[in-house]
Amino acid sequence: MTSATVHRHRTAMVRHTLSQPMSLAVRHGLIRPGVTVFDYGCGQGDDLRALAVAGVEATGWDPHFAPDISLQDAEIVNLGFVLNVIEDPAERVVALKAAWELARRVLLVSVLIVGAVPVDGLRRFGDGYLTARGTFQKYFQQSEFKVVLTQTAGVEPIALAPGIFALFRSPEDEQDFLLERRRGRRASTSKYRTDRRAKVLSAKPHLADRIANAIDAIAKFALQRGRLPHPDEVPSDVHDLLAAERVSFARAQDVSQGTRIDERLFERAAADRREDLLVHQALNLLNRSRSAYRPSPSMVRDIRHHFGSQQQFAEQTLEYLHALADPQRTAAAMRRAADNGLGAIDEDGRLVINSRRVVDLEGVLRCYVGCAVHLSGDIDHEHIVRLDPLRRRTTLFSLTAKRQPFPETSTSIMIDLKRQDVIIRDDPRVLVRKADVFGMASLSRQRSAEADRRKSGGYDEDRVLVRM
Ligand SMILES: C[S@@+](CC[C@H](N)C(=O)[O-])C[C@H]1O[C@@H](n2cnc3c(N)ncnc32)[C@H](O)[C@@H]1O
């Protein structure tokens, strides 16, 4: 077979839900109504239909399915699973450059990566494989793909998931995204907001009612960021409402503080934000993020408010990095996590934890997970995380049949921080200490089932994930 007989368009599938890169962009808030999207190599256009239903202005081009649509720039451009179907490496670079030129804010690029699909029986062709349907597939290494992106676009790509990256046009925008994403992993704190509303005591019911939307917006910001907002940092309709009611912004802040902001939660939000910023900056430095020194104005305000000055922020970040490099401190943090019921320490001293509980770890350990996420991107399903700071590895295990007392794993994604690479493999294991990993009560049925299994299976107490 020659290049001329590779049928690229046959790779385009019918989708009933958003593709993974589009759905990640929606979940991270990059795509939302009001943002323009262009899908470069849109296949049959199902992503575009789904976006349109949600009110997002989206259009796309495809050499086979939509050749007559003109290329146009947009805030977000998606180059979704296109490069891996192109058999000619030089042509991949042309497509990547063309898509990057159209992206005013972010280019999303995705490919299939090694291990995603079995290749047994496929014929090698160029640097990839030919399938029985006459299509070509190149499976990239995550690190190799990152190099292609960096060299072609000239900016450091941000991993969103294995094989899925975002390239930001502006460093400030990238910084805001990174910080919000790292914060986003604390999504469970949102329930505090709900509690707070239930407990609201209104000192000035009349005014508070009239400007309710404005004081809610101020309180929402305050409880996310641990400080009151600057007037620039609230939506314009807040100012419209205050102008209509003839209330100053400062007065609205006072009312919001008096009626909507629980002091304890405000302090907690400030402490969380301080730690988020430290973890964020430590990760920026560890990952040599090009945008580390270009915080957005809003982030600069956070830094001033929570640390006093950039200088003090830099000093505290260094402190953090020292803690990271100190195996005794990380080991102690892992032990504390296990003692607090957040996970289990295994036979090799590694911490095994459910991904949902990572947000509750101390900052030093969140940095480890953050480095892994930087290399691999987010893994969107729930999984088990094994932290191994001594060997500088983090491994993510996906569980099958999570409800079973002894769930099994199918694959693992090992992120090797030393080699800066991601390895996906079949990795069948049994989780024999689910109760510790999921934080179940000491008298639970699960714990006695585990004790029985240890006796009959002869596992020593320290095993957490046993190979099948
Ligand atoms: C696997 S499909 C992906 C389609 C869509 N982005 C999605 O995720 O559903 C690959 C698409 O790339 C298109 N394609 C092939 N060569 C291309 C090129 N040089 N530039 C843009 N798209 C191309 C094919 O026609 C095909 O529709």
For the stretch 374-407, pLDDT in tens is 778 776 667 899 999 888 899 999 888 888 999 9
Instruction: Reply yes or no on whether the pLDDT at 272 is more than 90.
Output: no
Q: Is the CB of 12 under 6 A from ligand 1?
A: yes
Domain around 240 = 200-261
pLDDT for 85: 95
| 346 and 452 in a common domain | yes
Q: Is the CB of 83 under 6 A from ligand 1?
A: no
**Quick check: is 192 in a domain?**
no
**Quick check: is 283 in a domain?**
yes
Tell me the best of 7, 10, 69, 85 to mutate to test the pocket of ligand 1, counting ligand atoms within 8 Å of each CB and taking the most.
85
pLDDT for 2: 55
In whole numbers, what is the pLDDT of the chain averaged over residues? 86
Of the given ranges (3-12, 55-64, 336-345, 428-437), which has the lowest mean pLDDT?
A: 3-12
d(CA 96, CA 99): 5
For 169-214, write each residue's pLDDT tens digit.
999 999 888 888 776 543 322 221 222 232 323 333 468 888 999 9
Atom in ligand 1 nearest the alpha carbon of residue 11:
1
Q: How many domains does the chain have?
A: 4
| 359 and 317 in a common domain | no
Tell me the best of 3, 8, 70 to mutate to test the pocket of ligand 1, counting ligand atoms within 8 Å of each CB and taking the most.
8
In this structure, what CATH number is given to the domain that contains residue 112?
3.40.50.150
**Quick check: is 160 in a domain?**
yes
| 251 and 301 in a common domain | no
**Quick check: is 462 in a domain?**
yes
Tell me the best of 14, 59, 82 to mutate to test the pocket of ligand 1, counting ligand atoms within 8 Å of each CB and taking the most.
82
Q: Is the CB of 313 under 6 A from ligand 1?
A: no
| 299 and 250 in a common domain | no
**Quick check: is 194 in a domain?**
no
Atom in ligand 1 nearest the alpha carbon of residue 86:
16
| 253 and 127 in a common domain | no
Backbone angles phi, psi at 89, to 5 degrees: -55, -35
| 277 and 257 in a common domain | no
**Quick check: is 332 in a domain?**
no
| 363 and 386 in a common domain | yes
Of the given ranges (31-35, 169-173, 201-205, 356-360), which has the lowest mean pLDDT?
A: 201-205
In the reported structure, the alpha carbon of residue 143 is separated from the centroid of ligand 1 by a whole-number distance in angstroms of 22
| 274 and 256 in a common domain | no
In the reported structure, the alpha carbon of residue 311 is separated from the centroid of ligand 1 by a whole-number distance in angstroms of 48
**Residue matched to tokens 């957005």:** 296
In the reported structure, the alpha carbon of residue 98 is separated from the centroid of ligand 1 by a whole-number distance in angstroms of 13
